[in-house]
Chain A
Amino acid sequence: MTLTISGLTVSIGGAEILRGVDLEVGAGRVHGLAGESGSGKTVTGLAVLGLLPHGSRTAGRIELEGRDLLAMPAKRLNAVRGAEIAMVFQDPATSLHPMVTVGVQLTEHMRHHLGVGRKEARDRAVGLLAKVRIPSPGTAVDRYPHQFSGGMRQRIAIAVALACEPKVLIADEPTTALDVTVQAGILRLLRGLCDDLGLAVLLVTHDLGVMSAVADEVSVMKDGLVVETGPRGQVLTEPRHAYTRVLLESLPGDGPKLPQEER
């Protein structure tokens, strides 16, 4: 299923945050959204889920299977949000509820949206934990978030997002709070889910290395506008827009030189 954003403008408290954003994320594709902080990356993600702060004014269209999410009444949007579109946030320490077991967090919306029974929901939760490669998922399901490491928590947050088998996943800086070794695992997981389940992923990140590793298409934002869009290889190696070149040049240069087989 394709997510199409066209001419999206968002004003919050009189300030124009997005000034006509166009983006398209196809099924089974990872679309990377880069740009400095304050350029509107996160607001774009939140707009798709209808999670903008109160009093925000929006214009343009966000289309999912011919339906305009922006024009949808709140009740109908609630049926889409969490079921067809899900989100993974930056910090797994705050996005999971600290006092509720992983199992409950995995099954609550599943039972609400899909109407599955308690027993079946639990079995599905164990299956999801296994899919994101949490060791011994049968016991992990009854544990609390603080009993897991940061990387494991982010895997759980991804499992929660996937519980209702969404078609679109918005991942806002999903690996920024993690160590590089853990990041590598999460990136592989995201890419795999995209390829296996046909998930459309909008990946918001400021890290062009992360972008290069998993994204199919890359868009670069500046001051509320998409200034460049294209296939990964083209944007990262032959950027057309001056601002994209600035972003690439601000990187600390060559990576470590390791023997080829280890790359």
Chain B
Amino acid sequence: MTLLTIDDLVVEHRTPGRPLVRAVAGASLTVAAGEVVGLVGESGCGKSTLARAVCGLHPAAAGTITVGGHPVSPLGLRSRSRALTGAQMVFQDPYASLNPRRRVGAQIADGLRTAGDRTTTPEDLLERVGLPRDFAGRFPHEFSGGQRQRIAIARALAVRPSLLIGDEPISALDASAQSHVARLMRDLAVESGAGLLFISHDLSVVRLIADRIAVMYLGRIVETGPTAEVWADPRHPYTRALLGAIPHPDGRGVLPAELPGDVPDPADPPSGCRFHPRCPLVMDVCRDREPEFGPVACWLHEPA
């Protein structure tokens, strides 16, 4: 069953005096119940904007987003419909996403109240994320980054979400806590039958936990596929460059391949295929026409 459907989504950022930026420029993606989808790409490619749009934190300029069949409307001052609280987000920085002046138990209880859950207690949720039950009476500053992120996950789970979204949930954590927290998110989401959209620029972690990978470049999804397949046989030149840049601990002293150039300005994207100025396999057609097909949006892999 498809939980989240994003269809041809466009999200624009407007800043007075600056050109309009299309952070997400026609991206399509689905997440099924019990499925973990990893969304990867370089910083500035629009991953976070896409995640925020799914939660209604950015309005869509075009295209549609539905969660469990309900279209997502921008978050306003009025309370959300119960159906849309099914999508819950774990943010990047647990030092900013938890309220420093409220006890963590009270913050988790908010979610339980929203869900109308009278049987579960905040202590139960803390236990599920691997923290002692008596932490509920403490304040966020008493915890390390990894512990805070576990609390943020407990808070998101309190609402019994059908879709959990992690927007770089591990990048603010110590290296030793990163894979623990990532695995925890995966286990809890899959256990409860929810879908997980996991956004990260760390490919090695995404590879560990995702069933399916979506690769984003400059506002568009350029390749999707089962994780093992994409890892073993990346087809889009951008995916190949991304994977080729990961250094291997084989002790041979091989410097990773460099992808020339920077991510172009999203306010002024290149014509045709957005990757063509950096692509080692660029052809004439790439400069003129944008490949608007999947699962590999590249003229070398045009479906017959």
Residues of A bordering B, CB below 8 Å:
36-37, 149-152, 176, 179-185, 187-188, 191, 206-215, 232-237, 248, 250-252, 255-258, 262-263
Q: B2-10, B19-27, B200-208: which lies at the A interface?
A: B200-208
A215 to B255, CA, bound (A): 10
| A78 vs B30: C-alpha distance when bound (angstroms) | 57
Using A151-B262, A187-B247, A213-B247 as known contacts, say yes or no to A180 and B240 having CB atoms under 8 A apart. Answer: no
Task: Report yes or no: B246 in contact with A209, Cβ–Cβ below 8 A.
Answer: yes
Residue of A nearest to B259 (CB): A181
Evaluate contact between A212 and B44: CB separation under 8 angstroms: no
Contact A255:B248 (CB < 8 A) given known A184-B259, A262-B240: yes
Residues of B within 8 A of A208 (CB): 249
Smallest CB separation, B115 vs chain A (Å): 35
B42 within 8 Å of A by Cβ? Answer: yes
Q: Is A212 a contact of B262 with CB atoms below 8 Å?
A: no
CA distance A167 to B249 in the complex (A): 27
Instruction: Find out whether the CB atom of B175 lies under 8 angstroms from the CB atom of A212.
Output: no
Contact mask for chain B residues 211-238; partner A; CB cutoff 8 A; 1 contact, 0 none? 0000000000000000000011110000
Q: List 18 A-B contacts (CB under 8 A).
A: A149-B43, A152-B262, A179-B42, A180-B201, A181-B245, A184-B255, A212-B248, A212-B250, A212-B254, A213-B255, A233-B251, A233-B253, A235-B251, A236-B250, A256-B231, A256-B246, A258-B234, A262-B244
Would you call B263 an interface residue if the criterion is a C-beta within 8 Å of the partner chain's C-beta atoms?
A: yes
Interface of B is mostly: loop
Separation of A256 and B235 alpha carbons in the complex (Å): 12
Please give, as numbers and ranges, the residues of chain A lying within 8 Å of B174 by CB-CB distance: 37
A residues in contact with B254, CB < 8 Å: 212-213, 263
Q: B82: CB under 8 A from chain A?
A: no
Contacts of B203 in A (CB 8 A): 180
Interface pairs A-B: 3 shortest CB-CB: A236-B251, A209-B247, A208-B249
Which A residues are in CB contact (< 8 Å) with B250?
Answer: 212, 236-237
Complex: A234 Cα to B241 Cα, angstroms? 29
B255 near A180 (CB under 8 angstroms)?
no
Task: Give CA–CA (A150, B45) in the complex, Å.
Answer: 13
Shortest beta-carbon distance from A40 to chain B in Å:
14
B18 at interface, CB cutoff 8 A? no
Interface residue ranges of B238-279 to A (CB < 8 Å): 240-259, 262-263
Answer whether A258 and B244 are a contact pair too, CB < 8 Å, given A211-B249, A233-B251, A236-B251.
yes
- Nearest-neighbour CB distance to chain B for A43, whole angstroms, equals 15
Q: How large is the interface on B (under 10, 10 to 19, 20 to 34, 35 or more residues)?
A: 35 or more
Interface residues of B (CB under 8 A from A): 42-44, 174-176, 179, 201, 203-205, 207-208, 231-234, 240-259, 262-263
CB proximity of A170 to chain B, nearest CB, Å: 19
By a CB distance below 8 angstroms, the chain A residues around B43 are: 149-150, 179
Q: Which of A37, A151, A237, A248 contacts B175 (CB 8 A)?
A: A37
B231 x A149 contact (CB < 8 A): no
Knowing A149-B44, A150-B43, A252-B208, say if A209 contacts B244 (CB, 8 Å): no
CB distance from A237 to the nearest CB of B (A): 5
Check B255 against A187 for contact (C-beta < 8 Å). yes
Residues of chain A with a CB closer than 8 A to B257's CB? 184, 262-263
Q: Which B residues lie within 8 Å of A258 (CB)?
A: 234, 240, 243-244
State the CA gap A212–B256 with chains docked (Å).
10
B251 and A188 contacting across the interface, CB-CB below 8 Å: no
**Set of chain A residues within 8 Å of B205, measured between Cβ atoms:** 252
- Minimum Cβ distance to chain B for residue A220 (Å): 12
Closest partner residue, chain A, to B260 (CB atom): A185
Q: Are B251 and A180 interface neighbours, CB within 8 A?
A: no
Give which listed residue, B233, B249, B263, contacts A209 with CB less than 8 A: B249
Extra pairs beyond A180-B246, A210-B247, A213-B247 (10, CB < 8 Å): A37-B175, A181-B241, A181-B258, A183-B247, A184-B257, A209-B248, A232-B253, A256-B243, A258-B240, A263-B244
